[in-house]
Amino acid sequence: MLLNAHHDEIAFTLPPMPHGAWRLLVDTAGSTPPQAAEDAAAMAPAWTETHYPLQCRSLVVLSRPDVRP
């Protein structure tokens, strides 16, 4: 979970994902509501960048997929 209470954007550094990508479940700065399904994480868009542009006064929830090498 990422939280930015500041009035400026923050480039949040994400932990590395050696297998797979982070899944974006919720971003309150976006205009798309979160998915309401059991497999929402599987259907969520992948985020492969090392930084997330956390917008001002927003909350982001990312999920790490259960991927085994």
- Does a structural domain hold residue 34? yes
- Does a structural domain hold residue 46? yes
Share of the chain above pLDDT 90, in %: 41
Q: Pairing between strand 58-63 and 2-4?
A: antiparallel
- Does a structural domain hold residue 68? no
When divided into structural domains, the chain yields a total of 1
Q: Is the pLDDT of residue 69 over 80?
A: no
Widest Cα–Cα separation across the chain: 40
How much is the average pLDDT of 17-46?
74
> What is residue 17's predicted lDDT score, i.e. its pLDDT?
81
| 47 in Cβ contact with 2 (< 8 Å) | no
For the record, the structure tokens of 18 come out as 């050696």
For the record, the structure tokens of 16 come out as 């590395």
By residue range, what is the domain housing residue 52? Answer: 2-63
- Does a structural domain hold residue 54? yes
Model pTM above 0.95: no
